[in-house]
Amino acid sequence: MTPTLLRVALPVPLPGLFDYLPPEGETAADCRPGARVLVPFGKGERIGVIVALHRDPGVAAERLKPVHRVLDTAPLLDSSHLDFLQWVAGYYHHWPGEVVCSALPLRLRKRPDVLPVAVAGVALAVGPTEALAQIPKRAARQRELIEALAEAGEGRLSRQWLLEQSPGCSGTLRRLAEKGLIAPCELEPESTRYAPRAPAYALNAEQAVAVSELSSTLGGFAPFLLQGVTGSGKTEVYLQLVEQVLARGESAMVLVPEISLTPQLRRRFVERLGGEVALLHSGLNDSERERTWQRVRLGLVRVVLGTRSTVLYPVDRLGLVIVDEEHDASFKQQEGFRYSARDLAVVRARRAGCPVVLGSATPSFETLHNVASGRYRHLRLNQRAGGASPPDIRLLDVRDQPLRSGISDPLMKALRDTLAAGEQAMVFLNRRGFAPVLACYDCGWVSDCPRCDARQTVHRAAGLLWCHHCGLQRPIPHRCPECGSANLHPLGQGTERIEQVLTEAFPGVPLIRVDRDATARKGSLQGLLDQVHASEAALLVGTQMLAKGHHFPRVTLVGVLDADGGLFSADYRAPERMAQLMLQVAGRAGRGERPGRVLIQTRYPDHPLLQTLVKAGYDAFAAAAMAERQEAHWPPFSHQALLRAQATRQERPTAFLQALTEALAPLPAGVELWGPVPAPMARRQGRYRAHLLVQAERREPLHALLDRLMAVAPELPEARGVRWSLDVDPVDTL
Ligand code: ADP
Ligand code: ZN
Ligand code: ZN
């Protein structure tokens, strides 16, 4: 049967796909799935993607509109990728149009034109002899450029390449163009050639096992956990594997957490692989992102290093997927289309028929569970590759210690000794700002956020009270808004206060604060890091940004100020996160020749999980904490979906969720609904919030119920005025 209709994915928050007729004068068979189309939608036009051609006798064709224009002559997404995206939409129960369109860079979603993949080049406009005759003898740089062009094939070179070879030659190029001797041109895109260099050392035994196990699976699906302590040489294993993938003419996708040193990692990849490595992260502008996306899609570059969204992008001949720091929370999108890039990496590899490596020093419990149940293979690197010894981790009992702005005397002394020895120290506190709350000592007023069930944090340098949940800011008051007293005090501490305390305690020692505020203020993180690397004694103060991926060989002491929050949180994942963060911070110490020491301040030195972590390490900790989860039937021993509802009227979210609960009864066997309950932060940004948790031992009945839920919920009268969203495999319950 010849198709007559186009099924189009549109980036709109609506269920389903949309049928259109082919453009006037064309037949549906002329259109290709995976190409973009410009279609009439509502009062305007939208860009969408054809996902299928079909013939649907159920629809009256005269009610359908033709697409205005097909935008791409060749499809941007192939049929297997379109299948993958639709599977993803089904799994997350998210609007398929938005999911399909999220595989395109923003520019292609918004603009009907496409950047050429061609490279901007420079060409000789006249013969080389004639050109040289017109250049004065002393203009050496102009002559050199003409000679370089004359030697290049067809008298053309990439502009980018020229600028890299002789930085500052843009002026010379301009002068030559003014004389009419050269002109801009477009070069055919070239695929990158790789010339891998051998590492400067031999792999150790554990690395060699990992590389050989992994490489024996190339060409077929195989999921692995590569568990290696920080500095154990995981990256080297990745590099050798990528090298083999390149030799097979395939591409490798490397996913990294959001706050990590992607430029640094990329440099290491480029140096070892001897070729281009595409970088996709949130800092790119739209056209850079589109150009990179196109090059990866077309296989012009075969190694792509990117954050979360990269997992949705098309890659030519995918042969390997790596997820570095797989436990990192930033792999889960926390709003809108709430997918897990780590989980999708595994799905993607299965569909592509290639291995996937989940790397971490502190694997997520989900991944450990997959190892225990035999689904993933387990590779371990237990030794630090460079021979550095592991850090010595101790608990500092601060129950009876006077704290100076959160820092105990023994920690202060350890800092002093470290600095006196010409070494560096790091103080870690996962709270930015000066203090978490401003309080009036006369009447008890505290800096509550007027829109949230939360406090506004004191940001002293900026002079602001700032809510970290809704972003609301106001100037720090000089007098109590309630009683007018000037007896206002910041309580508790954030990184900004620690910075101040340590600056006073150690005048003259370079101190660098790394957190979201500090890096926004001072420009790039890289500049700060260069300062540290150039110093002897130095202090680093920061939030989890400090813990991720950085390499500070001179740091020999790490102080952790707030380990306790993770032990008593309402969130069952808090201990897992606490342990991962602790060990990650610990991994920053002693990576050079000198051993490192970690001091963890706590008021609960006898807490069994904390004791296990410090004395027996992460594996023992994970076993104990996972046993607790199994007991309680929490993930990874069950599957969950969280329905979040919010409204400006207080009673509505709960009423909606209650009505939904009743509409879904009776529940299929093995599925439970918990709630509705008020969200842990019951009011945020002026909206009241409630949750309904869906939990099941097995995925199938859970997803069957979610299908029904998605059909029933929008039809409920109680849904009016309520914003709701479904989070499949939620990682936080806020
Ligand atoms: P990870 O990714 O596990 O943190 P890296 O791959 O960054 O570890 O390795 C840590 C350091 O050890 C790097 O400086 C790396 O060059 C070095 N290294 C890796 N493998 C070896 C080896 N087999 N012999 C010596 N040094 C190594
Ligand atoms: Zn007051
Ligand atoms: Zn707020």
Instruction: Using the atom order of ligand 1, give the atom closest to the CA of residue 237.
Output: 6
Same domain, 536 and 661: no
- The domain of 146 spans 119-187
Same domain, 659 and 626: no
- So what's the pLDDT on residue 231? 79
Beta strands, E only, 125-250: 156-158, 182-187, 222-228
Query: What is the distance between the alpha carbons of residues 23 and 494, in angstroms, rounded to a whole number?
Result: 59
**Residue 652 lies inside a defined structural domain of this protein:** yes
Q: Give the ligand at the shortest distance from the Cα of 360.
A: 1
What CATH number has the domain bearing residue 353?
A: 3.40.50.300
- So what's the pLDDT on residue 282? 81
Instruction: Look at 512 and 624; give whichever has higher pLDDT.
Output: 624
Reply yes or no on whether the pLDDT at 530 is more than 80.
no
Digit-coded pLDDT (tens) for 676-719: 999 989 999 999 999 999 999 999 999 999 999 999 999 999 99
- So what's the pLDDT on residue 621? 94
Atom 23 of ligand 1, nearest CA residue: 203
Same domain, 348 and 411: no
Tokens of 147: 């000679």
Ligand 3 geometric centre to CA of 45 (Å):
36
- Mean pLDDT value across residues 249-254: 97
Digit-coded pLDDT (tens) for 62-117: 688 999 999 998 899 999 999 999 999 999 999 999 999 999 999 999 988 877 77
Q: Give the ligand at the shortest distance from the Cα of 487.
A: 2
What CATH number has the domain bearing residue 692?
A: 3.30.70.600
Reply yes or no on whether the pLDDT at 568 is more than 70.
yes
- So what's the pLDDT on residue 315? 97
Residues in Cβ contact with 225 at an 8 Å cutoff, skipping those fewer than 6 apart:
326, 358, 359, 360, 363, 367, 368, 370, 371, 376, 377, 378, 379
Ligand 1 proximity of 519 Cβ (cutoff 6 Å): no
Ligand 1 proximity of 385 Cβ (cutoff 6 Å): yes
Same domain, 152 and 217: no
Same domain, 123 and 259: no
Same domain, 160 and 212: no
Same domain, 418 and 554: yes
Q: ω before 636 within 30° of 0 (cis)?
A: yes
- So what's the pLDDT on residue 374? 97
**Residue 440 lies inside a defined structural domain of this protein:** no
- Cα 384–Cα 390–Cα 395 angle in degrees, nearest 5: 155
Q: What percent of the chain has pLDDT over 70?
A: 95
Same domain, 424 and 570: yes
Query: What is the distance between the alpha carbons of residues 53 and 407, in angstroms, rounded to a whole number?
Result: 66
The pairing of strands 5-9 and 44-54 is antiparallel
- So what's the pLDDT on residue 84? 98
- Mean pLDDT value across residues 231-245: 94
Q: What percent of the chain has pLDDT over 90?
A: 63
**Which segment of 5-14, 338-347, 395-404, 600-609 scores lowest on mean pLDDT?**
395-404
- So what's the pLDDT on residue 59? 61
**Residue 276 lies inside a defined structural domain of this protein:** yes
**Which segment of 58-72, 466-480, 502-516 scores lowest on mean pLDDT?**
58-72
Ligand 1 proximity of 234 Cβ (cutoff 6 Å): yes
C-alpha 653, offset from chain centre: 30
Q: ω before 595 within 30° of 0 (cis)?
A: no
Q: Give the ligand at the shortest distance from the Cα of 442.
A: 2
Residues in Cβ contact with 80 at an 8 Å cutoff, skipping those fewer than 6 apart:
351
Reply yes or no on whether the pLDDT at 8 is more than 60.
yes
Ligand 1 proximity of 588 Cβ (cutoff 6 Å): no
Query: What is the distance between the alpha carbons of residues 692 and 655, in angstroms, rounded to a whole number?
Result: 11
> How far from 192 is each of 161, 298, 302, 535, CA to CA, in Å?
13, 11, 8, 38
Ligand 1 proximity of 207 Cβ (cutoff 6 Å): yes
Ligand 1 proximity of 271 Cβ (cutoff 6 Å): no
User: Which of 13-22, 124-133, 180-189 shows the highest mean pLDDT?
Assistant: 13-22
- Mean pLDDT value across residues 513-542: 75
Reply yes or no on whether the pLDDT at 487 is more than 90.
yes
Ligand 1 proximity of 232 Cβ (cutoff 6 Å): yes
Same domain, 377 and 241: yes
Reply yes or no on whether the pLDDT at 324 is more than 90.
yes
- So what's the pLDDT on residue 549? 60
Q: Give the ligand at the shortest distance from the Cα of 443.
A: 2
Same domain, 620 and 656: no
Confidence of residue 599 (pLDDT cuts 50, 70, 90): very high
**Residue 47 lies inside a defined structural domain of this protein:** yes
Same domain, 531 and 623: yes
Reply yes or no on whether the pLDDT at 733 is more than 80.
no
End-of-domain residue from the set 59, 76, 110: 110
Reply yes or no on whether the pLDDT at 524 is more than 70.
no
User: Which of 32-41, 178-187, 253-262, 393-402 shows the highest mean pLDDT?
Assistant: 32-41
- Mean pLDDT value across residues 610-615: 91
Could you tell me if 353 and 218 are in contact, meaning their C-beta atoms sit under 8 angstroms apart? Answer: no
The number of C-alpha atoms within 13 Å of 310 and in the hemisphere containing its C-beta is: 30
End-of-domain residue from the set 344, 360, 384: 384
Ligand 1 proximity of 646 Cβ (cutoff 6 Å): no
End-of-domain residue from the set 110, 133, 151: 110
What is the number of domains present in the chain?
Answer: 5
What CATH number has the domain bearing residue 161?
A: 1.10.10
**Which segment of 314-323, 382-391, 624-633 scores lowest on mean pLDDT?**
382-391
Q: Best substitution site from 235, 324, 326, 389 to test ligand 1's pocket, by max atoms within 8 Å of Cβ?
A: 235
**Residue 424 lies inside a defined structural domain of this protein:** yes
Query: What is the distance between the alpha carbons of residues 272 and 99, in angstroms, rounded to a whole number?
Result: 35
Ligand 1 geometric centre to CA of 358 (Å):
17
Mean model confidence pLDDT for the chain: 90
Same domain, 165 and 276: no
**Residue 733 lies inside a defined structural domain of this protein:** no
Confidence of residue 54 (pLDDT cuts 50, 70, 90): confident
